[in-house]
Amino acid sequence: MTDASLAARGAALDLLETVLRKKIPLDDAFDAHEGLDALEPRDRGFVRLMVATVLRRLGQIDALITETLTKPDPIKAGVLDILRLGAAQLVFLDTPAHAAVDTSVAIAEQRGLQHYKGLINAVLRRVSREGADIVKKQDAGRLNTPDWLWLAWRTAYGTPRTRGIVEANLVEAPLDLTAKSNPHEWATKLDGTVLPTGTVRRASGGQVSELPGYDDGAWWVQDAAAALPAKLFGDIAGKTVYDLCAAPGGKTAQLAAAGAKVTSLDRSERRLRRLTANLERLNLWADTLTADAATWKPDELADAVLLDAPCSATGAIRRHPDIMRLKSQEDVTKLAGAQRRLLAHAVDLVKPGGTLIYCTCSLQPEEGEQRIAHLLSTGAQVDRSPVTPDELGGLSELINENGEVRTLPGQLAELGGIDGFFIARLVKRT
Ligand SMILES: C[S@@+](CC[C@H](N)C(=O)[O-])C[C@H]1O[C@@H](n2cnc3c(N)ncnc32)[C@H](O)[C@@H]1O
């Protein structure tokens, strides 16, 4: 057991505790952890993989631990987290048994939990012997999905499509990139493929910043579904666009690359700094502004407005499994209220005849379909402008009966799936 392997497990334990108990998103916890910089990139990658696997498979792992516990007594949170990380390595990450068990016992010692070393050793040895058979019999998709999400998705999409969502959420998403131009050329250079919608897709893994074209700003990371809203403005060259919730800037970059005159707003100064840095790398330009999009009053109305509203992000669980452990139905209700206010105000920022696109990376109808239905029921001066299959590379299954885009993670499975997204295009009445 090396110092590095122990340090990696220690960092993973810290991160798991930060997400599960302090309710801090994994990306933020990762950025703030001081010990990670001392690790090799490969070990840092393994830390993230261990934590993401526990968060993705928490229901299965907890059921497995319960089944293999020698005594049914409740276990201390710190001990449980060590067991969870150990079990994830043994059953899902193919870590050799001695490495997973020995490091787990050593971490317990380091954290003042020496009293539990015997229990950790016994449970993990049993998991290493019986774990694979036990998880084979589990209903993985259902066990790992919190009840509130399972019920909400079944109500909205029915059981077969919910099955598709939860199965897709078990697997890490591929790496999707938007190329500034020539996606086919970049797909060849990056050993990827081009999806019907134009996204360049390659298998996940490795350091993104080491890939060809990163330093030259030839492309940026953006899920295939997240790349759709900006495309639905059509030919946007020379038009004024307000990107109201813009950071970290994936959609601003698309609009700027397409020749639009973009003003990018975000309430968070910190996130807006990331947007500026991203645009700099890409050699693209937009006006930026820290402001509340629910009240911001520009001097002029825009040809086009994009509202990529803050949401529960339940469509992005493949990439961010922590969402399942952090969000609740109360969050969805609260966010829907904010979206309602942002959407009503966004209508007022569009010129007559101009286009408003509303989108969220949520699977919850309260943050998608219901927001548009509600807006239209209030008599807002906009009409739906239905999306047609040719605008999505022929993928008609991504369009609902109202001409809105509704993607589900179980769709396009043969191509590697797609994040869950909702997109509505509206036109301001003249
Ligand atoms: C879904 S993210 C946007 C992603 C971005 N459009 C992209 O493509 O990279 C939502 C953003 O909305 C911002 N936000 C939340 N409430 C806001 C408000 N009232 N006014 C402006 N920005 C807001 C958040 O800081 C966050 O950066």
Q: What is the mean pLDDT of each run of 10 residues along the chain (430 residues)?
A: 87 97 96 92 93 98 92 84 98 95 96 94 96 97 98 98 98 95 96 96 86 95 97 98 98 98 97 96 97 97 98 98 98 98 98 98 98 98 98 97 98 95 98
In ligand 1, which atom is closest to the CA atom of 251?
8
Give 395 Cα–ligand 1 centroid separation in angstroms: 28
Q: How many whole angstroms from 30 Cα to the centroid of ligand 1?
A: 21
What residue ranges of the chain are covered by domains with CATH 1.10.940.10?
Answer: 3-142
Tell me the DSSP string of 315-326. GGTTT-TTHHHH
C-alpha span between 268 and 16 (Å, rounded): 26
* Torsion angle defined by CA atoms of residues 209, 414, 133 and 166, in that order, rounded to the nearest 10 degrees: 80
How many residues are listed for the chain in this entry?
430
Q: Strand pairing of 200-202 and 382-384? A: unpaired
Q: Give the number of the atom of ligand 1 that is nearest the alpha carbon of residue 226.
A: 8
Q: Which residues contact 282 (CB under 8 A, 6 or more apart)?
A: 180, 217, 220, 253, 257
Best residue among 27, 222, 232, 245 to mutate for probing ligand 1, ranked by most atoms within 8 Å of CB:
245
CB of residue 218 inside a 6 A radius of ligand 1: no
Ligand 1 atom with the shortest distance to the CA of 342: 19
Distance, CA of 2 to CA of 41 (rounded, Å): 16
Q: What is the rounded CA–CA span in Å between residue 65 and residue 53?
A: 15
Alpha helices in 359-401 (DSSP H): 369-377
Q: Which of 404, 409, 323 is nearest to 371 (CA)?
A: 404
Integer Cα distance of 374 and 246 in angstroms: 24
What distance in angstroms lies between residue 188's CA and the mean position of ligand 1's atoms?
Answer: 33
**C-alpha radius of gyration, the chain, whole number:** 23
CB 306 within 8 A of CB 230: yes
Q: Phi, psi at residue 420, to the nearest 5°?
A: -80, 130
Structure tokens at 296: 């911001």
Phi-psi map region of 394: left, alpha, beta (phi>0 left; psi -120 to 50 alpha): left
Q: Which residues are catalytic?
A: 361
Is ligand 1 within 6 A of the CB of residue 276?
no
180: annotated binding-site residue?
no
Rounded Cα distance between 50 and 267, Å, is 33
Which pLDDT belongs to residue 226? Answer: 98
Q: Is the bond into 248 cis (omega within 30 degrees of 0)?
A: yes
293 lines ligand 1 (CB under 6 A): yes
CA 14 to CA 81: how far, in whole Å?
9
Short-list 321, 344, 352, CA closest to 419 = 321
Fold of 3-142: N-utilizing Substance Protein B Homolog; Chain A (1.10.940)
CA of 335 to the centre of ligand 1 (A): 12
368 lines ligand 1 (CB under 6 A): no
Can you tell me whether residue 2 is helix, strand or coil? coil
Q: What separation in Å is there between the alpha carbon of 324 and the centre of ligand 1?
A: 20
* 268 close to ligand 1 (CB < 6 Angstrom): yes
What's the rounded Cα separation, in Å, for the pair 230 and 223? Answer: 13
245 annotated to bind ligand: yes
Which of 27, 228, 266, 306 for a ligand 1 pocket mutation test, highest count of atoms within 8 Å of Cβ?
266
3-state secondary structure of 113: coil
Choosing from 232, 267, 279, 306 the residue with most ligand 1 atoms within 8 A of its CB, the one to mutate for a pocket test is 267
Q: For the chain, what is the largest distance between any 2 Cα atoms, rounded to a whole number of angstroms?
A: 74
User: What is 223-428's CATH number, 3.30.465.10, 3.40.50.150, 3.40.640.10, 3.20.20.70?
Assistant: 3.40.50.150
- Our answer on whether the CB atom of 417 is closer than 6 Å to any ligand 1 atom is no
CA separation for the pair 213, 372 (Å, rounded): 39
For ligand 1, is residue 266 a contact (CB within 6 Å)? yes
Secondary structure (3-state) at 177: strand
Give the C-alpha separation, 142 to 195, whole Å.
29
Task: Find tokens 């940026």 and name the residue.
Answer: 220
Question: Which atom of ligand 1 is nearest to 338's Cα?
Answer: 19
Which tokens go with 354?
């101009």
Q: What angle do CA 407, 408, 410 make, to 5 degrees?
A: 135
